[in-house]
Each structure stands twice: as C-alpha cells, then as structure tokens.
Amino acid sequence: MNIFFKKYVWAVLFAIVLTSFTLYVALDTFVITRVYSIVAEQDSLPQNTSASEPEAKDGEAATVKPGATQEAAPPAATEAEITENTYSDSNITITITEYQEYDTTIYVADVQVSSPEYLKTAFAQSAYGKNITEKTSAIAEKNEAVLAINGDYYGAQTKGYVLRNGTLYRESADSGQEDLVIRSDGSFEIITEDDSPASKLLEQGAAQVLSFGPALVEDGSIAVSENDEVDKARASNPRTAIGIIDSLHYIFIVSDGRTSDSRGLSLYQLAEFMQGLGADIAYNLDGGGSSTMVFQGEVINNPTTGGNRISERSVSDIVYIGY
C-alpha cells in the first residue's frame, strides 16, 4: 500500500491542484463578481462631465473627457400624456408599434427627444465590473427610464471599448470590432476599434460607445449580407438594435424569437426591416435571451433563452430614454 501511495501521490496531488485551478478559473470567469467602479447617479453627472474619477478595470483610473465643465441641466418636462403605447411630454415623445414580419414579432419604439441628454446608458447595480448583472427592467426602474432596451453586455467580453455617459471605463481594443459611437450632440457613427483609439473618441465628444455589432445600416444602405452572422448570434434569433432616422430621432427595436409564435430574425432581415423604417444608421446589440424592451416599467416583449420558458435574462447594461 505504501509503495502504491508513494508511486501515485504526486499524480493525485497534481490532479487535485489542476481541478481546483480549473474550478477557480470557471468561477472567476462566470460567477465571481468584481466591482471596478461605482457609477455616480445619472442626474448628477451630465454627459462628458465628471464629479470624481472612479476606478476602472483592474484598478486603472477611468477616463473622462479632458477639460469637462458642468453643463446646464436640460429643461424640466411638462406633465406627460401617457397611453398604453405612447408617452409624450415637452422633451420626449415615444410611440410603440408591434409588427409581424418574417414570421416574427417585432417591437419598435419610435423616439424623438428635444436634447441628446435624454439618450443615456446605465450599468447593472450602478457599477462597472465583472459578472455584475441585473434584469433590464430592474436597471430601468432604478434609473426611472421611460423606455429601455438591453445594451451590449460588455461584461461577457474581456475586450472592446466601454465608454458610457462621457466616462471611459475600458479602452482595450478588440481587433476588427465595429462599434456604435453616440456623440454628445446625439448623432451616430460606426467606427472600427483598430482605427479609432478610445481616448481619441472621448476627446472628440463621444458620449457612448457600444461594442457588439455589427453595423446593420450605414448611410441608409444595408451594411450586412444575407449570409452574414457573428459568433455571438445564430441565423434566427431574438434581436435588439438601435438606429437613428434624423437628428434626435431614434428607433429602438426588439424582436422575439426561438418560439413557435415568433421565429426570430437574421441580421440581414433586421437590417432590411430597420432600413424600411428609415434608419440612416442602425446597429445590432446583444440578442438572444438578453433581448428585452421595457416601456413605462413594463416588459412589453417576450424574452426567452431556450424557447420553452418566457423569462428575462440578467444583463450588464441598458440603453434608455429618461431624465
């Protein structure tokens, strides 16, 4: 017995260490929460300004636009007129329309705002970090969003820019990655991270950078082919996307999918649909079980991961309209 033990003890110890390390790596990647920065309240931190310098990933200081100054708050809203499918006050007008196209249920929010300040993003649990998630509806409620969709799920990636509400949290580029830049004037631009350093985007007035993709429509033309897909998606999927029609005129889109009632969309179908709505630029956000639209505190689509159960997935971030 002693001879057997001496012969195999190192192999047993190595197996234990290897198993423990593998388990730790899996937990660190998918479970263990790490908070790198607590985000200031949205209403006290206008775009491209900073109340203080938070800490970003791995203890690196988050970057804010150089020379930022406190901007005047946008005007207060008049009393809103609200119906089941509409919201309207002096600054924000939203109309929700449900379509049946491509054997799929598609929810479209047509949004017009008087100022770009009303187009915002927010992190789950008001914190930037790793494995920090909440349901889209919960993040929307905390931020008093009138309308919200899931964002790019930055926490599922280790690279790709994270620039939100004028603060740069992650500037490690992902080669070939197409991003949507939302500038402080509310305009949209598609960039490639290889060609556009995050710090330069910040200096040029970027308020948000969303890193998922790909671009669906550019200059009014479809930017994907019928065969295009990405490893983050499959051919027929629940989808989330955002587009701009004209100055301060946006469309937020979520489609259901993977159910008997709603097949889901390919990237090309999504691009074709958004082009048909008049989008000049449109961009694909995180889809699948993440795809969620919240309007006036209610989830209005049917989020699903596997198709058998309607349930809302927890995500890293949202894009929303609100004060």
Residue 162 structural domain? 33-322
CA distances from 105 to 293, 299, 308 (A): 13, 14, 17
What is the rounded CA–CA span in Å between residue 7 and residue 296?
A: 68
Choice between 36 and 126, residue whose per-residue pLDDT is larger: 126
220 falls within a domain: yes
Please state, rounded to an integer, the average pLDDT across all residues of the chain: 85
Q: What is the pLDDT of residues 34-81, one digit of tens each?
A: 778 777 654 433 444 333 344 444 444 466 554 444 456 666 778 999
Contact 289, 238 (CB under 8 A): yes
Q: Which helix (H) or strand (E) holds 121?
A: strand 119-123
Choice between 292 and 10, residue whose per-residue pLDDT is larger: 292
Banded model confidence at residue 310, pLDDT cuts 50, 70, 90:
confident
Q: Which helix (H) or strand (E) holds 171?
A: none
Model pLDDT, residue 78: 81
pLDDT at 12 over 70: no
DSSP type of residue 184: T
- Domains identified in the chain, total number: 1
What is the rounded CA–CA span in Å between residue 191 and residue 167?
A: 18
106 falls within a domain: yes
9 falls within a domain: no
Q: Tell me the percentage of the chain whose pLDDT exceeds 90.
A: 68
> Using only C-alpha atoms, what is the Rg of the chain?
21
236 falls within a domain: yes
24 falls within a domain: no
What is the rounded CA–CA span in Å between residue 68 and residue 31?
A: 36
Q: What is the pLDDT of residues 190-211, one digit of tens each?
A: 999 999 999 999 999 999 999 9
CA distances from 284 to 58, 230, 240 (A): 28, 11, 6
Model pLDDT, residue 34: 74
DSSP type of residue 211: -
Banded model confidence at residue 128, pLDDT cuts 50, 70, 90:
very high
Strands of the 86-88 sheet, one edge to the other: 81-82, 86-88, 92-101, 104-113, 249-255, 239-246, 281-285, 215-218, 221-222
pLDDT at 87 over 80: yes
What is the rounded CA–CA span in Å between residue 224 and residue 221?
A: 9
Model pLDDT, residue 53: 42
For 78-97, what is the mean pLDDT? 96
Q: How many CA atoms lie within 13 A of 30 on its CB side?
A: 6
12 falls within a domain: no
Banded model confidence at residue 3, pLDDT cuts 50, 70, 90:
low
CA-based torsion, 241, 282, 200, 171: positive or negative = positive
pLDDT at 134 over 70: yes
118 falls within a domain: yes
CA distances from 211 to 162, 174, 283 (A): 7, 9, 10
176 falls within a domain: yes
Determine if residue 274 is left, alpha or beta; phi over 0 gives left, psi from -120 to 50 gives alpha, anything else beta.
alpha
* Full-model pTM: 0.82
Strand partners for 170: 162
For 235-245, what is the mean pLDDT? 93
pLDDT at 232 over 60: no
For 284-308, what is the mean pLDDT? 90
Contact 151, 294 (CB under 8 A): no
Tokens of 231: 């490893």
